[in-house]
Structure 1
Amino acid sequence: MRRWIILLATMAGLVAGFLGVLELSNARGFQLFGDIVARLDTDAPVVALTLDDGPTPAYTQTVLDILNERDVKATFFLTGRESAEHPQQVQAIAAAGHEIGNHSWSHKRMAFMSPASIAEEIESTDVAIRKTGYAGPLHFRPPYGKKLVALPWYLAQHGRTTIMWDVEPEADAADAASPRSLAEYAIANATNGSIIIMHVMYESRASSRLALPAIIDGLKARGFKFVTVSQLLAGRQQSSAAD
């Protein structure tokens, strides 16, 4: 009987430990090392629109046209592989005045990736994006938001901030199928300093592309101004200096 109790206690401990690791890897506002930002604590009515994945020849210009028509600058977190395959689309994003971020080379989950693989994923993506001529800041967003020990350690050692998000309209599968639901969610849940995450570069993301104009128009109607991630972080630095 005692052996069974010990076994059950051990199993419970392992399950609790696993759940703790899972929660840590998914945490939006906490990591073991370095700087992480999911939202700026500010009184200013600003939001950062961030668009993950790509670029793709099929949809990059469509998205750029939507943003240009509404005079909005976004931050595009691009993968290294797709940036290397489609450098002209990277150049078009930069030429339109948008910010570009690093979203890893292969878009694989990086929570349990080796340090050497992490370095390769990030640095090869930096090279691919820089080869297009982009000279702006290159913040990093982990694929699926997954990070644990090695990834935050690498980023901290290289002075790079982990960029997460606090508004995710596509999180619910039912909402993600409806452009109207996506727009309503984003408009209702954005607050001062929010970072909004969306995916608009693939055929499967048609609802998100269709929702994008309504999201922008709705947030502007609420009085929000759109800024890039770097502009958002600059606001945080200014606030710290004032304190």
Structure 2
Amino acid sequence: MKRIVLAAACLIVVATVLQALFDYSRLRDRQLFGHLVHRIDTDRPVVALTLDDGPTRRFTAPLLDILDKAGVTATFFLTGREVTAFPEGAQAVVDAGHEVGNHSWNHRRMVAMTPWEVRRQLRETDAAIRALGYEGPLHFRPPYGRKLVVLPWVLARQDRTTIMWSVEPETDLAFDAPPQDLAAHVIETTQAGDIILLHGMYSGNDSSRAALPLIIAGLRARGFDFVTVSELIALEAAR
């Protein structure tokens, strides 16, 4: 009986530790090593709009068209595999003057990856983006926002900033929430210095694409300007 109780207690401890590690890996505002930015403290009415994944043949152009018509420069976190599969789309993002970041090679969760595999994911995605002629900074955003020990350690060794976010309507509501609801959530909750996360590269992101012009118009009506992630970081560095 004592062995059964001890085994059960051990299982509870292990489950508790695993849950704690899982929860920590998802935190937006901290990691074990290196520099992480999820927003900045500023009195200036500026926000950074970020778009994850892609490029894709069907939906990169519509996103770029929305941003172009609104005169907004965003930060795109692209995957190396998709950049290589559709370089024309990635080139269009660069040519439109948007900032580009590294979002891994194939969007696998990187929490349990070896240091070698993390470095390979970073290196090959960097190379795919640089092949487009992009010369700007290459910040990194972890797939699904997950990071624990190895990934932040490698990023810190490379003096690389992890970019997370502070406004996430698709998770706070749902990916298929009505566009008006997604937009209202962003417009009502965004504060100066926030980093907004949206997706729009796939067929399941119809609501987000439809919400994007509403978000831009609503935030501008509140007096916000849009900057890239690097511009946002520079504001904090200048304080």
Interval containing the TM-score (normalised by the shorter chain): over 0.9
TM-score, structure 2 normalization: 0.96
Structure 2 partner of 1:68: 68
After superposition, the Cα gap between the structure-2 partners of 1:168 and 1:174, relative to the gap in structure 1 and judged at 3 Å, is closer
Deviations 1:183-231 (A, max 9, x none): 0111111111110001111111111100000000001111111010000
User: 2:52 corresponds to which residue?
Assistant: 52
Match of 1:128 in 2: 128
- Displacement after TM superposition at 1:4 (Å): 3.6
Write the distance in 1 (CA, Å) between the matches of 2:75 and 2:172.
Answer: 23
In 2: Cα distance, 1:29 partner to 1:68 partner = 31
Following superposition, the deviation at residue 9 of structure 1 comes to: 2.3
Q: Which residue number corresponds to residue 171 of structure 1?
A: 171
Q: Which amino acid aligns with 1:130?
A: R
**Equivalence for 1:34:** 34
Q: What are the within-5 Å matches in structure 2 for residues 2-151 of structure 1?
A: 2-151=2-151
| Percent of paired sites with the same residue | 53
| Structure 1: distance between partners of 2:129 and 2:178 | 33
Question: How far, CA to CA, are the matches of 1:65 and 1:166 in structure 2?
Answer: 25
Structure 1, unaligned runs of 5 or more: none
| Structure 2 SS opposite 1:176 | coil
Q: Deviations over 1:64-87 (max 9, x none)?
A: 111111111100000001111111
Preserved contact between residue 175 and residue 207 of structure 2 (Cα < 8 Å): no
Name 1:183's counterpart in structure 2.
183
Which residue does the alignment assign to 2:157?
A: 157
CA offsets 1:39-89 (integer angstroms, 9 cap, x no match): 111121111000000011211121111111111110000000111111121
- Secondary structure of the corresponding residue to residue 162 of structure 1: strand
- State the superposition RMSD in angstroms: 1.2
Q: Whole-Å Cα distance in 2 between the matches of residues 169 and 238 of structure 1?
A: 29
Contact 1:167 1:195 in 2 (8 A): yes
Distance 2:233 2:56 in 1: 28
SS for the counterpart of 1:197 is: strand
Contact 1:176 1:182 survives alignment (8 Å)? no
Q: Secondary structure at the match of 2:13?
A: helix
Which consecutive aligned stretches of 4+ in structure 1 deviate over 4 angstroms post-superposition? Answer: 172-175
